[in-house]
Chains A and B, each alone.
Chain A
Amino acid sequence: MRGLSGWGNYPVSQAQLLAPRSEAELKRLITESPSVIARGNGRAYGDSAVGVPTTLHMRHFNKMISFDATTGLLVAEGGVLLGDVISAFLPRGWFPAVVPGTKFVTLGGAIAADVHGKNHHKDGSFRSCLDWVEVMGPDGTVRRCSARENSELFNWTAGGMGLTGVILRAAIRLRRVPSAWIRQQTTPAANLDAAIEIFERSADATYSVAWIDCLAGGDKLGRSLVMLGEHAGLQDLSYAQAAQPFAIPRASRRTVPPVFPSFALNRFSVRAFNAAYYWAGARKAGRQITGYDSFFFPLDALLGWNRIYGRKGFAQFQCVLPLDSARAGLRALLKAISAAGQGSFLAVLKRLGPQDSPFSFPMEGYTLALDFPVNRRSLQLMQDLDRITIAHGGRFYLAKDSRMSRDTLRAADPRAAEYAGMRQMSGLHPSFQSAQSQRLSL
């Protein structure tokens, strides 16, 4: 037994981490343990990939199995990182159709959380690029599921947080891209209304996201930098870049010291950082050509950035609000945050497109994501944010959650009860459990 937590280092549970190397071994662990949960690269923020007592470390299942260079269909094991897919196939002109904000996530994790990217409004969640998934069930049987075959299992598995079984293999579709560069357009938005207007105007953009200053108040409430992106074609690139369109100079990687002094993180430094970031961005507004890495995965360059928050860890809050109440809901959320003075280095606003899958997070509307160092005040604030979200018909992203209550989830998302019922009926419940699923009674 050891202390195990997610990327936010909160909460820490005592768990047993086992690392099977073969399907036979995996089957034995699933059938012999009272309950298990699979863990990929530990990038879920909270306790979704912490099994109490048994957590299955799946990184040994990390082989790529086949690739069809005519269709872009890649078959790989669940422990392969999206970053591995990118390093293998981007030089050949292929890129995953959907990527979240980190490439250090496994395929299994991306499927289980049904991650979304900056192109959700156009291309949907990760599920939309999945041809099929193979899942090992409670008795160790491996079943292939897709939109056509075992479709119920498929529907619950994408976004099911690993609670339908262990994701062994999957077939994902990559998209052809002309280069490894992104044509980025940054537009400052003076407040929330301006930001929303830009999003609504930019529905055609392939990628869109906004960084939002969550500490600005008054008529600056919700001021943001909205970033739109397109895969750059050769005509967009400089002569040198176009000569090797898939070669990007390696950015330096920094590693955060093991424990970042917590005094460096307070309301003043965060407010100053946010303001500085906004003005720096506003000054550089306009078009630029940027590498895919810094566009999609800016935080990955800072290895171990989760340690900025010190030993107590941090918690993410991410909700989505339906389109018609998004404006009022976001305003209420930002007001509460700004009033509490509990800012976040990383606050992200994103327009999501329509999605109707049984348990995935996205829905048409706006999603707001923020992180807070864990302390009494921020935990209190997040409960207030929960209430505001529910009052506006929104729901929560389980891959980010580490502290919600069962009742909050039930109040926000009627699908949770349905999912829990399905798990009971089909006998999945006793075999697959995470600390999170126990907390939320899933």
Chain B
Amino acid sequence: MTKSPVLILGARSDIGLAVAHAYAAQGHPVHLAARNAGSLETRKTDLELRHSVPVTLHEFDALELEDHERFADALPELPGIAVSAIGFMGEQGESENSPAAAVQVLRSNFEGPASILAVLASRFEQRGSGTLVGISSVAGDRGRATNYVYGSAKAGFTAFLSGLRNRLARKGVHVVTVLPGFVATQMTEGMDLPEKLTAQPEEVARAITDATAKQKSVVYVRPVWRLIMLIIRNIPEGVFKKMSI
């Protein structure tokens, strides 16, 4: 049986690439979508050599909203699974001082991913099948002083995915929200992350392939994060505002 193709949005990211490898290893053809897609040529060859699956490259910019319909039309076929690994952390200090920088973070983590998933959602809905995977963040579970601009965009995206799942549940389309916690990627390189709480991109990828296979809805890549965020969400505001976490 030929497996359905998987579209990776934000395919240049470490998590996006790891997800591409994980699906390709299961025999899925892969469409890699990213800015400057031509530079992913060596990644395409690597994926094809390792997994003997067809891989295609697609130019895609999450922030060019008016282009999203055209992007979806231009895909060789409507994928069975689409994974958004789009994200941009920015720098909190910069986001606080420059509205333009903050908007960039908000658009990259919320507006862009939500827009393209909305476009794909209506096509999946029409077809009556498919899985949409959004990689959000535990940072969206509660705003913290150290990264609330990024966190609030992810909060918006998490709510968007939740609503989308609710809307499409009866239409045969499944929506997965992935909350990775700390991941050792280019985005977090140089940050001092606690080793025991930090996942590798391959771990996130495995969580995603598992979640799509088992039709899970909200996945914390490392289960301990569910507990950590439960606690953090429930700290009374009066206490929380005096804390620095």
Contact = CB atoms under 8 A, between A and B. Distances in A.
Interface of A: 19, 21, 63-67, 84, 87-88, 92
Contacts of B42: 63, 65
B206 interface: no
B contact residues, range:
10 to 19
Contacts, number: 24
Contacts of A21: 186
Contacts of A66: 45, 49
Contacts of B49: 64-67, 88
Nearest to B43: A63
Given A64-B50, A84-B50, A87-B50, 6 more contacts: A63-B45, A65-B42, A65-B45, A65-B46, A87-B25, A88-B50
12 contacts: A19-B189, A63-B43, A63-B45, A63-B46, A64-B45, A64-B49, A64-B50, A65-B42, A66-B45, A66-B49, A87-B25, A88-B49
Chain B binding surface SS class: helix
Contacts of A88: 49-51
A54 to B, nearest CB: 15
Interface of B: 25, 42-43, 45-46, 49-52, 186, 189
Nearest to B196: A258
A294 B186 CA distance: 35
A354 B89 CA distance: 56
Contact of B46 (A19, A64, A92): A64
B53 to A, nearest CB: 11
Nearest to A64: B49
B23 to A, nearest CB: 15
A203 to B, nearest CB: 36
Nearest to A91: B52
A249 to B, nearest CB: 17
A17 to B, nearest CB: 11
A63 B41 CA distance: 11
A382 B131 CA distance: 59
Contacts of B43: 63
A88 B42 CA distance: 16
B87 to A, nearest CB: 18
The 8 closest A-B pairs by CB, nearest first: A63-B46, A88-B50, A64-B49, A64-B46, A63-B42, A67-B49, A64-B50, A65-B45
